[in-house]
Structure 1
Amino acid sequence: MSDERPVRRSSKVKVAEFLAAVGEGNVFTKLQLFEGVPGVAQADRRMRDLRDLGWQIDNYKSDPRLHPDEYRLTAIGTRIDLGEQPKEAPRPRITAARRREALERAGFVCQSCGIGAGEVYADEDGHRAVLSVHLADPGPPVNTELSNLRVECQRCNAGTRGAGRAAPAPEEVLMRASSLSTREDKRRLYRLMQSGRLERDEVELIFAEWLRLSREDRVDVMLRFAGALIEED
């Protein structure tokens, strides 16, 4: 008597096996799918999962010639039903030009906390903000369009607020917000929460631009500006 046990196949593998039998270019119905993989309750969802593995399956939305209950297997992807291993998805690449566009659109400030490039963190003496561009939604299919790019400083991008300190608890933030001394401060904070970025006046914006200069240029601009102030006096 053999002790061998049958290899258990996943629902996705069973669906892949059914589709491979249908063949590229052929049409099948949702009913045929469910009948072809008995015991798989969410066969249609497992079929959609195969798209991430290179399987191209069209429906009436992508091909108007199909009926609402019909699908066409346009291309077969990774044959997981034959034991093929999915290839590692390539890391999304954001071009330098697109990064520059995203930074310019954001005004060279973090879209989460509002700090400008090169500005010093108020609670971290000497630590300056470095901005980076990343995908707002990294899920497949990879979208590197400007609408899916977000600019954040190193702290916001890492999900921390200060070196070695974890992000605060929601209740802590709410308690501090509620304890603000004036109603105007509370209203301003609420506006900031709605906008998602700091309200920066012209002085702060100019200072942020000054910080982006080289050390030599910063000193030069500061001294010349001081001279202009003395003349005004």
Structure 2
Amino acid sequence: MAEKYVESISTAQTEVSSRNSWLERAADLGILSANLRNAQSRVNRAYGIRSGRDAILLYLRNHVGRSVAADALAGVSGIAEWARRVRELRVEFGWPIESGINRDDMPHDHYRLTADEPDSDLAERWRVAKSARNLKRQGGGTTSAKDRILHYLQAISPRPADKEQLAYVAKIQEWPRRIRELEEEGWKVISNVDDPTLIPGSYRLPTLEKRPPRVRQAIKLRHQVLGRDNKTCQDCGATPGQGSVLQVHHKLPVHQGGTNDMDNLVTLCSNCHGGRHALMGSSPKDELLNPDQKLDLL
């Protein structure tokens, strides 16, 4: 019994000693890291690099069009707040830096500079975003996320807003739901599902004219069909991320008695949609996206 007690004390002392030893090594590593950062700053200054932000920009410009890892940017900057400096380059100076923060088809830990010069229009859209974020009601009071998003899209129309800008303006994580609500209210909000030139996660308002109330049911139904089919062409499997435009097709045409029942609607890419209508001797049209025909929406 006593031997086991002595053994447990000895084991505990060894563990404490090992832990303390590790803490000493960790402290040494911290000092070494600080010395390395100081040395890096001196070398940067010798090469005319004035700040971590300057180092990030120079590195990105040396890799225009190529995806670079976040760790690489952290390394060249030599500072802990390197991500904030990347955002400053994009937001305040208009450098077109892409990542998973502002487009859906890139990982969050990679960045890409798309052009070797700043984009004045991008900087302007960010200035408008800052104004929209602080939008107040007439007479004072806070506006809703949906109202701020609409105000921003109207202010920059017909130019697009990326998902970082929209999240910034909305100030909520559920901003995509507010986009859908705007569509169902009759606003024609375009995404890369309808316009493959838009980067995934971006939206634009091509017109400031609100569509009539009868359109709302059609748009809501279209979202239901696209959601059911996972935004994928049911003939060839194409998706918006592959540059395809998706449309909703009536299996039995409306003029032949077809209805808007879910069973009669299917998601197709524009090519497959055109192929089906060619066999029917007609032209393809997403009647739910552009419901100017008399559809039975009851």
Asked if these proteins are the same fold (TM beyond 0.5), I'd say no
Q: Which has the higher contact order (CA 8 A, sep 6+)?
A: 1
TM-score, L = length of structure 1:
0.32
TM-score by structure 2 length?
0.26
